[in-house]
Amino acid sequence: MSIFPYVYHMVESFHVTDNDQKIALYAGMITSSFTFAEFSAGMFWGRMSDRIGRKPVLVMGLVGTAISMVAFGFAPNLATAMIARALGGLLNGNIGVLQTTVAEIVTVKEHQPRAYSIMPFVWCLGSIIGPAMGGALAQPCDNYPWLFSRNTLFDRFPFLLPNLVCIVVLVCGIVVGFLFLEETHPEKKHRRDPGRELGHWLISQCCGSRVQLPDDSDVGVEETKYFVYGDVPPEYESAESSPCLRPVNVSVGGRVDGDVGAAEECDSDSDIEGQKPAAPKAFTRQVIFTIVAYGILA
């Protein structure tokens, strides 16, 4: 959002044309290149988050935006500026991934309205602070000659400073995300996360107490465990789940017995086998109406 106040003057400084109407056209092309690229890559990043997890996609989106803003701040001509903005859109089309992450974090229905209101609130806050900051920090040698002298880096690239400030914010987000963001993908959330381990270690060093992450490997086969499928949260219950108790291998007297202590078993394996989970239909009528309404609003 920070580029909107100065993008017209940026195009004007490229000296591509003297016609004011064409300058406005080129400025619109720069701003729309980001949106078009983000639109083109949104589905890809959604599928990628299903494959590698939500956290890597979100962190890579922040890294991609930082790279884009570095290139945009140093852009010497119109083509470079457009490519830099398009690169930012291609590498940061993860708004859908962010919404999915919020949905997977907040599973209590009563808490979801507050959770989903956070992102629009932050977006509106950025829409206020971003343009104000961009307009205040652009062309610092002209606006603040007592702080920024001529024949310096900021004189050669007068629109670099607001991008550098945005990059500092992005780097903070990258660090916080790498150290403390929890993976929410149901199939990926139990894998080892070196970033969170480092974050917990840093907290333990600062707080003076050691924080230990739960380890799934602590549960051994010697422990008798029977999991009731009805106790599994609905978001992690598969379509093949059965309400009966399932036997788990336990160690008895040095030998492994799979049936000891089973309170109840399924009548037959055929009740589970052969039943394929129905493929969920993503684009329902209500979803399509929502997408169309959102598109009209945009």
Let me know: does 82 contact 29? Beta carbons within 8 Å.
Answer: yes
DSSP 101-112: HHHHH---GGGH
pLDDT in tens, 182-210: 999 988 888 888 999 999 999 988 886 55
Which residue, of 206, 228, 259, is where some domain finishes?
Answer: 206
Does residue 78 lie in a domain region?
yes
Residue 93 scores a pLDDT above 90: no
Question: For 2-61, what is each residue's pLDDT tens digit?
Answer: 999 999 999 999 988 888 888 999 999 999 999 999 989 988 999 999 999 999 999 999
pLDDT band at residue 280, thresholds of 50, 70 and 90? low
- The total of structural domains in the chain comes to 2
Residues 6+ apart with CB under 8 A from 219: 225
How far apart CA 96 and CA 81 sit, in angstroms, is: 26
Tell whether 30 is covered by a domain: yes
Provide the pairing of β-strand 255-257 with 250-252: antiparallel
Same-domain pairing of 193 and 233: no
* 83 and 183 belong to one structural domain: yes
Q: How far apart are CA 36 and CA 106, in angstroms?
A: 30
Residue span of the structural domain in which 258 resides = 219-272
The domain boundary residue, chosen from 206, 229, 244:
206
139 plus 116 within the same structural domain? yes
Same domain, yes or no: 242 and 157: no
> Are 146 and 168 in a shared domain?
yes
Report if residue 114 sits inside a domain.
yes
Q: Tell me how far apart the alpha carbons of residues 287 and 159 are, in angstroms, rounded to a whole number.
A: 41
Answer yes or no: do 42 and 188 share one domain.
yes
Helix axes 54-73, 78-91, angle to 10 degrees: 170
Rounded Cα distance, 92 and 60, in Å: 8
| 278 in a structural domain | no
User: Is there a domain that residue 280 lies in?
Assistant: no
Same domain, residue pair 50 and 90: yes
202 and 223 assigned to the same domain: no
CB 65 within 8 A of CB 41: no
**Residue from 247, 215, 242 nearest 229 by CA:** 242
Residue 25: inside a domain: yes
Residue 79 lies in a domain: yes
Query: Look-up: residue for tokens 């989903």?
Result: 116
Q: Which two tokens stand for residue 268?
A: 């037959």
Confidence of residue 68 (pLDDT cuts 50, 70, 90): very high
197's tokens: 């381990």
- pTM here? 0.70
Residue 73 reports pLDDT greater than 90? yes
What is the pLDDT, as a whole number, of residue 69?
A: 95
- How many CB atoms sit inside 10 A of residue 5's CB? 18
CATH number at residue 200: 1.20.1250.20
Same domain, 201 and 227: no
Residue 296 lies in a domain: no
User: Do 130 and 95 fall into the same domain?
Assistant: yes
Indicate whether 53 and 190 sit together in one domain. yes
**Would the CA dihedral through 148, 174, 100, 102 be positive or negative?**
negative
